[in-house]
C-alpha cells in the first residue's frame, strides 16, 4: 500500500508545531513542543524528531506510511539541498537540516522558508490556486514575506526573495538606503511595537501595561490585543505607528511589482487584525501609485497557524512530482 500521509513541521523560534495530514488533505493529529533553540542545533533536531515520532505513535503508523516530512524554517534555506544558510532566531548557520533528519527517518525530507510555506498553504487552500501576483506578509516577532508571480512561488536567485523585513525604511514606511534608518521589522514587528511601548512607559506615561516596563516581562500579541480593547493610549499609538509603516511599505512594493493580492498573517495580525487592517489599507492607499490600489485585494488569512501546515502538501506535490 503506497504512502499517503504527510507530516508538516513548522519550526519556530520558541515552538515546534507539527501535523499529520491524510490523503484528503485534512489535519488528523497535531503535536506542539518547545524548540529549545538556546540549547543548540542538536536539541532543535532532537525536538523535531520527537514531534514526528509522537505523531507516528499517536496514529500507530511508521515510516512507510509517510510520503514526506515537510519542514518550514524561519530563515534562508535552499529547498533543493536542505541547507539552512542562516536562521538567526534559531542561531543556526550552514546546517543541512535535511541530512540531519535523514539520520532518523527513511522518509523524503523537504525544506522551505516558513513564510514561503505559509504562502503555499494560503494559495492552495484559502485561495484555491486562483491568484496571480501576490505577496504574503507575516507580522510577528519579526516580519517575513512570500512572493508569487503568475501563480508560482518566487524564491529568488539565492533563495532570499520575500525577506521583506530587512528592507531599509523610515518610520513613515519610506524606502531608504541610509544606514541611519532602520529595517522594516525593527520598526513594525511585535518586537518593535513592544519596544516603543516600553520606551513610552519609561517616560511615565499611563497605560494598562505600565507594569510591563521592565524587559523581564514578556508582552505577547494577546496581551497587546487586550490592552488595545481597553483603549490603552500607549498601545494604540504604537500599533497605529506600525500600521502606517506596514501600509506604506506594501504600497511601495505594489508600485514596483504591480501585485494584485496582499495577504496578512502572523501573531500580531491574528490578534489585532480587526483594528490594524483598516489603518494598513489607509496607509497603503496614500503610498501606492494612484490608480494601482483599485486592482489590489488586501485581507487577513483565516488559516492562522495552519497556513504553513497546509503548505506542506503543496511543497510535497511540487518536489515529489519533480522526481
Domains (range + CATH), the chain: 5-107 (3.30.420.40), 131-300 (3.30.420.40)
- Which residue do the cell numbers 518593535 mark? 192
Residues 6+ apart with CB under 8 A from 232: 207, 208, 209
CB 149 within 8 A of CB 161: no
The cell numbers describing 300, all together, are 487577513
Q: Please give the pLDDT value at position 62.
A: 93
b/e map 237-252, b = 16+ CB within 10 Å: ebbebbbbbbbbbbbb
pLDDT digits (tens, 9 = 90+) for 293-313: 999 999 999 999 899 999 999
Average pLDDT value over all residues in the chain: 92
Instruction: With a cut of 60, say whether residue 179 has pLDDT above it.
Output: no
Q: What gap in Å lies between CA 298 and CA 293, rounded to an integer?
A: 10
Q: What gap in Å lies between CA 137 and CA 254, rounded to an integer?
A: 13
More confident residue, 225 or 216: 225
**pLDDT classification of 170: cutoffs 50, 70, 90:** confident
Task: Please state, for a pLDDT cut of 90, what percent of the chain lies above it.
Answer: 80
14, 21, 39, 85, 147 from 44: Cα distances, Å: 10, 22, 8, 16, 28
pLDDT digits (tens, 9 = 90+) for 131-162: 999 999 999 989 999 999 999 999 999 999 99
- Which residue do the cell numbers 539520520 mark? 103
63-67, 89-93, 191-195, 209-213: least confident range: 209-213
80-89, 121-130, 206-215, 288-297: least confident range: 206-215
CB 153 within 8 A of CB 146: yes
Q: Please give the pLDDT value at position 1.
A: 46
The cell numbers describing 1, all together, are 500500500
Statement: the pTM of the whole predicted model exceeds 0.95:
no
Instruction: With a cut of 80, say whether residue 211 has pLDDT above it.
Output: no
Q: What is the mean pLDDT of residues 116-144?
A: 95
**pLDDT classification of 215: cutoffs 50, 70, 90:** confident
DSSP 3-state assignment of 92?
Answer: strand
CB 112 within 8 A of CB 118: no
The torsion angles phi and psi of 12, rounded to 5 degrees, stand at: -110, 175
Q: What residues form DSSP beta bridges with 143?
A: 139
Q: Please give the pLDDT value at position 202.
A: 80
Q: Please give the pLDDT value at position 177.
A: 59
pLDDT digits (tens, 9 = 90+) for 11-28: 998 899 999 999 888 999
Q: What gap in Å lies between CA 16 and CA 12, rounded to an integer?
A: 6
Number of neighbours of residue 178 by Cβ within 10 angstroms: 8
Amino acid at each position: 500500500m503506497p504512502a499517503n500521509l504527510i507530516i508538516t513541521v513548522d519550526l519556530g523560534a520558541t515552538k515546534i508545531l507539527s501535523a499529520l495530514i491524510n490523503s484528503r488533505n485534512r489535519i488528523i493529529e497535531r503535536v506542539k513542543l518547545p524548540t529549545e533553540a538556546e540549547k543548540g542545533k542538536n536539541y532543535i533536531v532532537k525536538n523535531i524528531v520527537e514531534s514526528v515520532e509522537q505523531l507516528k505513535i499517536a496514529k500507530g503508523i511508521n515510516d512507510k506510511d509517510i510520503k514526506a516530512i515537510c519542514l518550514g524554517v524561519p530563515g534562508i534555506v535552499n529547498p533543493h539541498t536542505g541547507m539552512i544558510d542562516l536562521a538567526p532566531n534559531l542561531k543556526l548557520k550552514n546546517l543541512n537540516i535535511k541530512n540531519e533528519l535523514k539520520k532518523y527517518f527513511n522518509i523524503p525530507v523537504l525544506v522551505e522558508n516558513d513564510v514561503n510555506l505559509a504562502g503555499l498553504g494560503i494559495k492552495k487552500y484559502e485561495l484555491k490556486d486562483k491568484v496571480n501576483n501576490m505577496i504574503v506578509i507575516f507580522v510577528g516577532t519579526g516580519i517575513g514575506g512570500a512572493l508569487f508571480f503568475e501563480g508560482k512561488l518566487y524564491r529568488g536567485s539565492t533563495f532570499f526573495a520575500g525577506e521583506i523585513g530587512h528592507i531599509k525604511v523610515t518610520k513613515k514606511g519610506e524606502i531608504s538606503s541610509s544606514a541611519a534608518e532602520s529595517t522594516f521589522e525593527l520598526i513594525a514587528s511585535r518586537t518593535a511595537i513592544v519596544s516603543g511601548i516600553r520606551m513610552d512607559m519609561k517616560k511615565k506615561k499611563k497605560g494598562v501595561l505600565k507594569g510591563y516596563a521592565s524587559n523581564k516581562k514578556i508582552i505577547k500579541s494577546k496581551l497587546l490585543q487586550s490592552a488595545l480593547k481597553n483603549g490603552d493610549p500607549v498601545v494604540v499609538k504604537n500599533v497605529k505607528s506600525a500600521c502606517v509603516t506596514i501600509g506604506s511599505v506594501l504600497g511601495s512594493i505594489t508600485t514596483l511589482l504591480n501585485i494584485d493580492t496582499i495577504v496578512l498573517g502572523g501573531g500580531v495580525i491574528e490578534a489585532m487584525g480587526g483594528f490594524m487592517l483598516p489603518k494598513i489599507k489607509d496607509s497603503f492607499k496614500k503610498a501606492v501609485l494612484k490608480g494601482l490600489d483599485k486592482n489590489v485585494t488586501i485581507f487577513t488569512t483565516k488559516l492562522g497557524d495552519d497556513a504553513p501546515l497546509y503548505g506542506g502538501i503543496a511543497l510535497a506535490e511540487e518536489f515529489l512530482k519533480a522526481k
